[in-house]
Chains A and B, each alone.
Chain A
Amino acid sequence: MTMRGPVGDLPLTFVDVSILAGEVTILDDVSLTLDPGAPTVLIGPNGSGKTTLLRAAMGLTAATRGRITWGGREHAPPDKRAFMFQRPVMLRRSVLGNLIYALKAAKAPRGTQDDRANDLLTLVGLQALAQRPARRLSGGEQQRLALARALARAPTVLFLDEPTASLDPHATLAIEDAVRSIAALGVKVVMSTHDLGQAKRLAGDIVLLHRGRLIEHTPAQKFFVMPRTQEARKFVAGELLV
């Protein structure tokens, strides 16, 4: 099953984007391009704007100033984009019901929905729990279902907001493996994380944010070995950025 299709949303560019909530600046004059390829991982202290950047890239939050374009388009419906929230919300249905809902929302052809749902369940290892009410799954299981729901959209870009923040190492490993496989299939993964180790394991390129400003956007190997900026060096060394 290949997911490489028309890359309509890429390159995804931010041009001088600022996002304000009332008086508070959450993103400050951010310019950035996301190209197809290996995963882009956002890192930075709490409150640096990672979640807002992801939401803006998805199209959930609008830019107060500046422009966001998807494959050159200023207004692009999120048909081929998917988002996995840090705390995903399960619909009050069964596991299978959640997936069918996502497939219907993504306008998957009627006859294929059941098969695709079962394929996705197998992919994330939840086939045995297909009939269980989704709200009764464990945290790790819910995260896997959220991932399956996102994949149901057959996205070309997949956003993940701290996908393993509340998971134990076992579940974290399962999600990281899934992300690696998805990226290998050609899906552009854009994710945020607190775990520098995770960033090292998964990233093709790193975006460092601090207080809403883009500090660095560097290929991963270079970033960890020879960061360009003072902040990056401090952050990689484990110091608090204030």
Chain B
Amino acid sequence: MPADTSALHLVISGDPALLAIVRLSLLVSLSAVLLAALIGVPLGAFLALTRFPGREGAIVVLNALMGLPPVVVGLVVFLLLSRAGPLGSWGLLFTPQAMVIAQTILVAPIIAALSRQTIDDLWVEYRDELAAMNIGPAGRIATLIWDARFSLVTALLAGFGRAAAEVGAIIIVGGNIDGFTRTMTTAIALETSKGDLALAMGLGIVLIFIVILINALAWGARRAGERVAG
């Protein structure tokens, strides 16, 4: 199936509708990754470093949540945010904010589980030295998160990959409204269902290219940082 080069022409010519779609995709997914990181990294660090009854069960549940089906999350958030639902008065249904919320829920377990693993690995190395320096629980969490920050970038990228690729949740809570909540993935779904497969494929290639670009930028930042801090 030949990709429609018109999609690439739209990018090069800076077609405003396409740029708006790309902008919204990045805004929603990057916001979700940021919020998910604020939740997930400390949670992962906490699980790695603290012993409490039920910890093993919590880790199993967290790992399982990585596989949350996006449509199910979308449905739950939809029911919460609908005017007929408990949070209806917030008026968030069919807005980009709702999409960010849904994607944050999807991405946070991934970042938390991967952070836990990364920090656990570093903790095995650091444990004795930090104990000998009498570092308390808060200091441990802060030190490990900071020292593991470059490895944690990989966890963030995994989260971003999930967010940028998904369509099931955001199409339900966003409504795929033209010019308002239409992202690259929802646009691809729409064009496919309209039968314009070439355009859908072209958009898909643009999306893949953007994701690769983000990964390359993150990789470059990581290498530069590692060179400085070792």
Contacts and interface: CB of A to CB of B under 8 A. Distances in A.
B134 A85 contact: no
B134 A79 contact: yes
A223 interface: no
A135 B125 CA distance: 12
A74 B123 CA distance: 28
B139 interface: yes
User: Considering the complex of A and B, which 8 residue pairs feature the smallest CB-CB distances, nearest first?
Assistant: A133-B230, A83-B132, A105-B133, A92-B147, A89-B129, A78-B134, A89-B125, A135-B230
Nearest to A146: B129
Given A89-B126, A91-B147, A105-B139, A78 B132 contact: yes
A201 interface: no
Given A89-B126, A134-B230, A106 B133 contact: yes
A146 to B, nearest CB: 8
A136 interface: yes
Given A85-B129, A89-B129, A136 B230 contact: yes
A105 B128 contact: no
SS of A interface (majority): mixed
Interface in A40-90: 58, 60, 77-79, 82-83, 85, 88-89
Interface of B: 122, 125-126, 128-129, 131-135, 139, 143, 147-148, 229-230
Contacts of A89: 125-126, 128-129
A153 B129 contact: no
A134 B73 CA distance: 45
Dominant secondary structure of chain B at its interface with chain A:
helix
Contacts of A97: 229
User: Residue among B139, B143, B230 with the most chain A CB within 10 A?
Assistant: B230
Contacts of B129: 85, 88-89, 91
Task: Count chain A CB atoms within 10 A of each CB in B122, B129, B131, B148 and give the residue with the most.
Answer: B129
Interface in A84-123: 85, 88-89, 91-94, 97, 101-102, 105-106
A4 interface: no
Interface in A110-148: 132-136
B132 A93 contact: no
A78 B131 CA distance: 10
B147 A93 contact: yes
Interface of A: 58, 60, 77-79, 82-83, 85, 88-89, 91-94, 97, 101-102, 105-106, 132-136, 149, 153
A77 B133 CA distance: 10
Nearest to B132: A83
Contact of B230 (A77, A78, A93): A93
A101 B126 CA distance: 13
A128 to B, nearest CB: 16
Given A91-B147, A94-B229, 12 more contacts: A60-B128, A77-B134, A83-B132, A85-B129, A89-B125, A91-B126, A91-B129, A92-B229, A101-B143, A105-B133, A135-B230, A149-B133
Contacts of A134: 230
A105 B134 contact: yes
Contacts of A149: 133
Nearest to A83: B132
- Looking at A89, A94, A106, A133, the one whose CB has the most chain B CB atoms below 10 A away is A89
Contacts of B230: 92-94, 132-136
Contacts of A102: 133
A149 to B, nearest CB: 8
B222 to A, nearest CB: 13
A133 B122 CA distance: 17
A102 B143 CA distance: 12
A153 B134 CA distance: 11
Nearest to A150: B132
A209 B41 CA distance: 45
A60 B132 contact: yes
A133 B230 CA distance: 5
Contacts of B147: 91-93
A133 B125 contact: no
A82 B128 CA distance: 12
B134 A93 contact: no
Contacts of B126: 89, 91
A177 B131 CA distance: 27
Nearest to B134: A78
B124 to A, nearest CB: 10
